Structure 1
Amino acid sequence: MPSTTVIILDEYPPPPAELLDALRLMDTEPVSRTLSQLLHDRPQTLPVADVLLAPAEADGESVRAAVRRLRRRAGAPIVVVWTVAAFTALEEHVRLGHDYLVPPFLPALVGARLHSCSERAGLGRTLREADARAELMGYEKELEIGREIQAGFLPESLPVPDGWEIDVCFRPARQVAGDFYDVFELSRGRRLAVVVADVCDKGVGAALFMALIRSLLRHTAENSGLQHLMAAGRTGGGRRTPVVGATPLLNAVTATNGYLTRNHLRQGYFATLFFGVLDPLTGSLVYINGGHNPPLLLSGSGDVPVPLNVTGPAVGVLPDCVYTLGYAQVNPGDTLFVFTDGVPEARCPDGAFLGDARVLELLAGPPVSGKDTVERMDRAVREHTGAAEQHDDVTMLALHRPRAARGPHADGAGRKVVA
């Protein structure tokens, strides 16, 4: 007979000597516990067993409660109730579905009964494991469907203006992500919107809010028309010049923040984001940085990278907050590198972060191209992480303006790296 683990309840009259002798002659592993221990001990201290051997005098409902606790630990044992004379009590256990042993307690008879119980317990565990696998497969299928739906919210192709390159790396930590990026045209193609955002947390909840926030931002921006925002010009003299695309930018961010804080503040989800609007003809950029990692403007001359600092809080945190505009100029040879915190906070096996200083070190010198910048940083993140688990989503976007202008279909324009 294969090894059978037996829990013997020892707070009632002990099993008869003949029954104990039969157990000793078989390949069993008896452990003694009181019913109180089975009902109140910490779950991790409960024994794993095939059979729970109890006297007929034990309270049937209490035994069932103990079995339920053991089931949560590692599967329910088969209850075998023994008696010498308490047949009325035995009948109550039988009605509860418990097995039983009565004299004579001959080794062959006891062995056959316990062997049968062990096989039933094993079959029960197998069925529960099969159910768990089926449930897991169903869950994984749902996640895969969620991943496919989420992928539909990311742009299949990027609208790349003449004389520009856009490269993206997007690596979720799980099957669904809280990070997202978007690139789309505004003002009848006169401006290009670039968005990189990071919803707090990760997994399914973050992915749902990612889809909501992305949709709100794009819909509001695309439907804000051709309004101009009068902003202080850089020509001196206090003159005011129109900034095409600034109104859709402000409308999108403030409206999204307003919707989230009015309707979803209780859920506790928010998103940091960088939303820039580029004039492809001049390279001028107006942007809002809502609590996001400052993107880095990499100079074609190799100067120290310029961070595009925060201009307002994350969206979804503060009702009626104020967002201000930032301005930058992307000249020929420059690259705007936008990333989420999964890059500097990538962890190696001992838990150390890649760090902001290392990011700046890797980006030192004039950028060769957006593709080179993204691939260099992605390689550094992977090498730093090594065999460790990826703790956060990683998203990078490089907007590069080559010195020699190339058309949108030239090599290197609009590349995406999705892994």
Structure 2
Amino acid sequence: MPDVTALLVDQERNPPPELLAALAHEDVAVEVRTPREALEGEPPWAEVLLTPAAMPPRAVREIGRRLAESGTTPITVVYAEDGFDDIEQHIRLGHDYIVPPFLPPMVRARLRSCYERAKLGRAMEEVEAQAELLSYERELKIGRQIQEGFLPEELPGPDGWDLDVRFRPARKVAGDFYDVFELVNRRRLALVVADVCDKGVGAALFMALIRSLLRHTAEHSGLQSPMTTHQAADPAHVIPVVGATPLMNAVVGTNGYLTRNHSGQGYFATMFFGVLDPATGSLVYINGGHNPPMLVPREGGDPTPLEPTGPAVGVIPDCAFSLGYAQLRPGDTLFVYTDGVPEARDEHGAFFGDERVLDLLRQPAPSGRALLERMEAALREHSGAAEQHDDITMMAVHRTAGPG
């Protein structure tokens, strides 16, 4: 067995001379250490670990783990000159063994058998690990397809409005989501962008749950809100607002369900849920702890943030959510995004930053698509070859200058 290295551990540094001679005859490079030296010294690269059968199995396992730190998993072989009863406890742990006479042909045959069996075992482990990885990748792919089914296939296009979205998960499945759907006999448009804490499979499952709760509750709620049961963010709005009831019921109902049934999982979501009147440009919304969406004026300049009107959903039971109001004039654009935009990193870990987002929004854009393309290009330039750390979702709602 040429080019094989072995670590022989012996308490007295006095292993059987016949065993050493047989190993040397088979070109096995042997280093002899005491148990203490094997545990405390720099772990050598060794494909075979040889120890007396009298050594306690726990100590042998500990030395084997220490050798694994050098990047190899050694074959463990115990030997005994007498007292063969000690071998039994090692056999039960899967260790191989050598017994006298330590003749070179016998040692060669025994070590080769052990070596080939260990190679086969490692190959089987690699095959199983690869199969498990492929299965996991396949399940993630299916999960991605299911999650994509929760996102709208196409965005509604009411006359006088231009809607566009960018959605880029950091992994196979995402915790971000968006939704656009019609309410109140197609007279109102629901706009949702949300970000479930964390990312990956767990966040994706909560994304599906929250999205389903929001849409189902909103679509099966009444038309109007008397506005006396909820504190409005703008006291001037005291008249009924069509679409406010589905909005409030959806957010309050989802928050109640999550805090009652899923608080132990520790997941929550920040979200912006707005209900738009396409005929007038009037927007009523709830911002549950989300990055403030930006209302970008037609002529450019500083955008107006739509600040939070309540906490994140799924954190505080029976909490109060207020309603916010905004008006989109012809040429205005509403930009809604998740924190993956300002927190996008370059190759050195530097963030894209809120100021960069504001600078890009201050430049006039002829459409929602043009705004998102500008933002997306800036993000690509900033990130370069850096790994994407968080999901990125952006939505632009642009009111055109004229109908149609």
TM-score in same-fold range (> 0.5) = yes
Pairs within 5 Å for 1:2-401: 2-11=2-11, 14-32=14-32, 34=34, 49-59=46-56, 61-62=57-58, 65-66=61-62, 69=65, 77-90=74-87, 93=90, 98-230=95-227, 240-401=238-399
CA contact 1:67–1:77 (8 Å) conserved in 2:
no
Bigger Cα displacement from structure 2, 379-388 vs 164-173? 379-388
SS in 2 for 1:18: helix
The CA deviation string for residues 374-419 of structure 1, in whole angstroms up to 9 with x for no partner, is: 111111112211111100000001111111333xxxxxxxxxxxxx
Letter in 2 for 1:115: R
SS in 2 for 1:228: coil
Bigger Cα displacement from structure 2, 208-217 vs 29-38? 29-38
CA contact 1:4–1:118 (8 Å) conserved in 2:
no
Q: CA deviation at 1:180?
A: 0.3
CA distance in 1, matches of 2:304, 2:91: 79
Letter in 2 for 1:308: L
Letter in 2 for 1:368: P
Per the alignment, do residues 76 and 206 of structure 1 end up closer, same or farther by CA in structure 2, a change over 3 Å counting?
same
Q: CA deviation at 1:27?
A: 4.1
Q: CA deviation at 1:228?
A: 3.1
Identity fraction in percent: 62
CA contact 1:13–1:55 (8 Å) conserved in 2:
no
Per the alignment, do residues 141 and 116 of structure 1 end up closer, same or farther by CA in structure 2, a change over 3 Å counting?
same
CA distance in 2, matches of 1:132, 1:71: 22
Bigger Cα displacement from structure 2, 46-55 vs 193-202? 46-55
Q: CA deviation at 1:267?
A: 1.3
Letter in 2 for 1:134: A
Bigger Cα displacement from structure 2, 112-121 vs 314-323? 112-121
SS in 2 for 1:250: helix
Q: CA deviation at 1:166?
A: 0.9
Per the alignment, do residues 155 and 72 of structure 1 end up closer, same or farther by CA in structure 2, a change over 3 Å counting?
farther
Q: How much is the aligned-residue C-alpha RMSD, in angstroms?
A: 2.8
Bigger Cα displacement from structure 2, 284-293 vs 223-232? 223-232
SS in 2 for 1:229: coil
CA distance in 2, matches of 1:211, 1:273: 14
CA distance in 1, matches of 2:92, 2:353: 66
SS in 1 for 2:252: helix
CA distance in 2, matches of 1:258, 1:125: 51
CA contact 2:68–2:74 (8 Å) conserved in 1:
no
SS in 1 for 2:239: strand
> What is the TM-score normalised by the length of structure 2?
0.90
CA contact 1:183–1:192 (8 Å) conserved in 2:
yes
CA distance in 1, matches of 2:47, 2:384: 42
Q: Which runs of 5+ in 2 are unaligned?
A: none
SS in 2 for 1:397: strand
Q: CA deviation at 1:226?
A: 1.4
Q: CA deviation at 1:288?
A: 0.8
Q: CA deviation at 1:125?
A: 1.4
CA contact 1:173–1:393 (8 Å) conserved in 2:
yes
CA contact 2:151–2:178 (8 Å) conserved in 1:
yes
Q: CA deviation at 1:289?
A: 0.8
CA contact 1:4–1:115 (8 Å) conserved in 2:
no
SS in 2 for 1:241: coil
> What is the TM-score normalised by the length of structure 1?
0.87
CA contact 1:70–1:77 (8 Å) conserved in 2:
no
Q: CA deviation at 1:217?
A: 0.8
Per the alignment, do residues 182 and 112 of structure 1 end up closer, same or farther by CA in structure 2, a change over 3 Å counting?
same
Q: Which runs of 5+ in 1 are unaligned?
A: 407-419
Letter in 1 for 2:203: A
Q: CA deviation at 1:102?
A: 3.6
The CA deviation string for residues 6-29 of structure 1, in whole angstroms up to 9 with x for no partner, is: 231222673222322333444434
CA distance in 2, matches of 1:182, 1:130: 42
Q: CA deviation at 1:242?
A: 2.2
Name the counterpart of 1:413.
none
- Higher RCO (C-alpha under 8 Å, 6+ residues apart): 1
Q: CA deviation at 1:58?
A: 2.6
